[in-house]
Amino acid sequence: MTIQSETSTVQTATGKAKTMVLNMGPQHPSTHGVLRILLELDGENVVKAIPDMGYLHTGIEKSCEDKTYSQAITLTDRIDYLNPLGNNLAYCMAVEKLLGIEVPKRAQYIRVLMVELQRISSHLVWLGTHAIDLGAMSVFLYCFREREEILKIFEFVAGQRMMTSYIRIGGLALEPPTGYLQRVEKFVKMMPGRIDEYEELLTGNRIWMGRTKGVGYISADDAIALSMTGPTLRAAGVAYDNRKVFPYSSYEEFDFDVPTRTDSDCFARYMVRVAEMRESLKIIRQAMKKIPPEGPVRTEAPGIVPPEREKMKTEMEALIYHFKIFTEGFSPPVGEAFAAVESPRGELGVFVASDGSPKPLRVHFRAPSFINLQALPKLIEGKLIADVIACIGTIDIVLGEVDR
Amino acid sequence: MAENSNTNVVVERLRGWSPNAISEVIEFRGETTLVVPRNALRDVAERCRGDKELRFNLLSDATCVDRYPLEPRFELNYHLVSIPRSDRLRLQVRLSANDPVVDSLVPVWPGANWLEREIFDLFGIRFTGHPDLRRILLPDDWEGHPLRKDFPVEGYRDTASIATRYTRNRT
């Protein structure tokens, strides 16, 4: 991959000037992983930018084809490693759609609760790392302090801090332990004040505004044409949020706003994400009220959803189903299904095609980071090299998801 | 995805414009798939985006399914979203194994650029009219297209040749 030779001279105020090609990444800390960008520079100005990725390509979509439908859930955790529960949810929704099974209300509400906690934790990592890229060290430490609280809740509920695989086909992996809502309650009480603290440090900060205001502008039409979704699109004034437009997992019962801005610069994206954290807290509070204290967390679907432990000790059929699910899996009808959720980064879609065998014919992830990254050259070409860092930050890419 | 009433509007609108625009309509689990003949794809896509009653302005996703050894072997799926109408639609194009070439949709939705590069990289499908059809996830000198069904899951275990290839190219 090279930069075309005819672009190697540019017109400047003083006449023709030679440009320089700079290789940024893949080990550069502010590229948030292993993103490599070839930058053609005229002094400090970016003339042309070519993103190059694939350093983290692990062939997850191919591996899914070699696993049964249930086994593939563990792989979905590892795509967007800041949003494993959201990935689980999108994949399980696609398979549930293919099977035509419904999930009990209680499980749906717990899914919403967990996914919204995940959204806050993902935005916290984004805010912290973005701030550290732009020179605000302390925000990073505060954000990770609060994220730790969320990970502790995940560990308590699912047994794992990060790669939870908690959401399963037909419901949840296990009944949440007693006292989990009290922990969430404690977190929800503490968090609004902490978000105020971040805003005090950043929102009115002159250095922060100088680095982000007016930087990385993209018009709403361009953003839609480039298939951008999520906070980057909402910061351009388009209120497209899957939770509102195509509600799933009972989101239509929740009362929340979709924050939008119109400036469409890095500062607007920051404001949208901070507002989203507050909206997520609102949803979590409602979910805590909605979750019934008792009830099934898995749907009754013999041969698809593993039976309860107690049943296996008394019922022969349950034991047989359990054995069959974990040895050969289950076979959905021939067909295709696409399910989309609103991940912290945008529309996360999962496309599953079945040929009637226990292994998927094809699993495809519509990775929002990958598609949003496509707009990066548009954001940075003609701007300063320091703005490249700010723009990569506000697109909020996760390289595990870009490369899959 | 699309409700039934919406589906009829979309299908009627497209059939009214050109009777051969859609060769098949598939309804499964509330999702609508319109199977489009290969040579009509770009016109249908243009129509879906530009028509004032359809307005599918966002290309959400594009992906491929390899049905090897069946024919037609490849199925390309384009997932469209209409933000103003809150609607979804899937366009499907079927390609045979010996001629996996189709018109690029980059002129219609610029966002198709990387999606088509990914399909080219992993399935080896050519998009005519694509401005920059290069591999995107795999190295430029990779042999084969790993998401094809005749590519083994564990890859080719010829590590010696891979090692020499990479040391040779590192200059």
Q: What is the CA radius of gyration of chain A?
A: 23
Q: By mean pLDDT, which of A20-29, A50-59, B28-37, B143-152 is the weakest?
A: A20-29
Give the nearest partner residue to B28 out of A1, A335, A349, using CB atoms: A335
The answer to whether A343 and A368 have CB atoms below 8 angstroms apart is yes
Banded pLDDT at A39 (limits 50, 70, 90)? confident
Structure letter (DSSP) for residue B43: H
Determine the angle formed by the axes of helices A266-290 and A385-395, rounding to 10 degrees. Answer: 20
- Cβ <8 Å between A245 and B86: yes
Asked if the model's pLDDT at residue A14 lies above 70, the reply is no
- Cβ <8 Å between A57 and B147: no
- The pLDDT, as a whole number, for residue B3 is 46
- Cβ <8 Å between A349 and B61: yes
Instruction: Read off the pLDDT of each residue in A11-31 and give the average, rounded to a whole number.
Output: 71
Query: Which amino acid is located at A373 in the chain?
Result: L
From chain B, pick out residues whose CB is under 8 angstroms from the CB of A404: 137
Q: What are phi and psi of A175, to 5 degrees?
A: -60, 130
pLDDT for B27-50, tens place per residue? 888 888 889 998 888 888 988 888
- The pLDDT, as a whole number, for residue A302 is 83
**Percent of chain A with pLDDT strictly greater than 70:** 95
Instruction: Read off the pLDDT of each residue in A196-213 and give the average, rounded to a whole number.
Output: 88
> CA of B31, closest CA in chain A: separation in Å?
7
Give the nearest partner residue to A337 out of B31, B65, B134, using CB atoms: B31
- The pLDDT, as a whole number, for residue A92 is 93
Asked if the model's pLDDT at residue B170 lies above 80, the reply is no
Asked if the model's pLDDT at residue A290 lies above 70, the reply is yes
Contacts of A364 (CB under 8 A, 6+ apart): A61, A350, A351, A352, B61, B63
Determine the angle formed by the axes of helices B41-50 and B4-17, rounding to 10 degrees. Answer: 120
Instruction: Read off the pLDDT of each residue in A83-101 and give the average, rounded to a whole number.
Output: 92
> CA of A209, closest CA in chain B: separation in Å?
30
Interface mutation vs chain A, best among B66, B114, B141, B147, most A CBs within 10 Å: B114
Diameter over CA atoms, chain A: 87
CA gap B12, B10 in Å, rounded: 6
Asked if the model's pLDDT at residue A15 lies above 60, the reply is no
CA gap A181, A52 in Å, rounded: 44
Residue written as token pair 């920051």: A270
pLDDT for B77-107, tens place per residue? 999 999 888 888 899 999 998 889 999 999 9
Asked if the model's pLDDT at residue B6 lies above 80, the reply is no
- The pLDDT, as a whole number, for residue A273 is 93
- The pLDDT, as a whole number, for residue B152 is 82
In this prediction the ipTM stands at 0.85
Q: Does B22 touch chain A (CB under 8 A)?
A: no
- The pLDDT, as a whole number, for residue B164 is 61
Asked if the model's pLDDT at residue A339 lies above 70, the reply is yes
b or e along B145-166 (b: 16 or more beta carbons within 10 Å of the residue's beta carbon)? bbbbeebeeeeeeeeeeeeeee
pLDDT for A348-400, tens place per residue? 999 999 988 999 999 999 999 999 999 999 888 888 888 888 888 888 888 88
Instruction: Read off the pLDDT of each residue in A113-126 and give the average, rounded to a whole number.
Output: 93
Asked if the model's pLDDT at residue A131 lies above 60, the reply is yes
- The pLDDT, as a whole number, for residue B20 is 79
CA gap B33, B65 in Å, rounded: 14
Q: Does A355 touch chain B (CB under 8 A)?
A: yes
- The pLDDT, as a whole number, for residue B1 is 44
**How far from A397 is each of A346, A347, A384, A401, B131, CA to CA, in Å?**
10, 13, 20, 8, 24
Q: Does A240 touch chain B (CB under 8 A)?
A: yes
Name B93's bridge partners: B76
- The pLDDT, as a whole number, for residue A5 is 43
Q: Which stretches does DSSP call E strand in A89-228?
A: 167-168, 171-172
CA gap A335, A95 in Å, rounded: 11
Residue in chain B nearest A242 by alpha carbon: B86
Contacts of A139 (CB under 8 A, 6+ apart): A127, A128, A131, A132, A198, A201, A202
- The pLDDT, as a whole number, for residue A400 is 86
The shares of helix, strand and coil residues in chain B, as percent rounded to the nearest 5, are 30, 25, 45
Question: DSSP assignment of A124-135, as one string?
Answer: HHHHHHHHHHTT
Residue written as token pair 């994949």: A91
Interface mutation vs chain B, best among A64, A68, A338, A354, most B CBs within 10 Å: A338
The shares of helix, strand and coil residues in chain A, as percent rounded to the nearest 5, are 50, 15, 35
Instruction: Read off the pLDDT of each residue in A134-150 and give the average, rounded to a whole number.
Output: 90
- Cβ <8 Å between B33 and A371: no
The torsion of the CA quartet A187, A189, A192, A196, rounded to 10 degrees, works out to: -100
Banded pLDDT at A120 (limits 50, 70, 90)? very high
Interface mutation vs chain A, best among B61, B73, B140, most A CBs within 10 Å: B61
The answer to whether B78 and B62 have CB atoms below 8 angstroms apart is yes
Asked if the model's pLDDT at residue A98 lies above 80, the reply is yes
Residue in chain A nearest B84 by alpha carbon: A240
Is the torsion defined by CA of A297, A303, A309, A311 positive or negative?
positive
- The pLDDT, as a whole number, for residue A87 is 92
Asked if the model's pLDDT at residue A32 lies above 80, the reply is no
Determine the angle formed by the axes of helices A180-202 and A105-133, rounding to 10 degrees. Answer: 30
**How far from A25 is each of A32, A52, A125, B98, CA to CA, in Å?**
10, 9, 20, 39
Q: By mean pLDDT, which of A135-149, A271-285, A301-315, B66-80 is the weakest?
A: A301-315
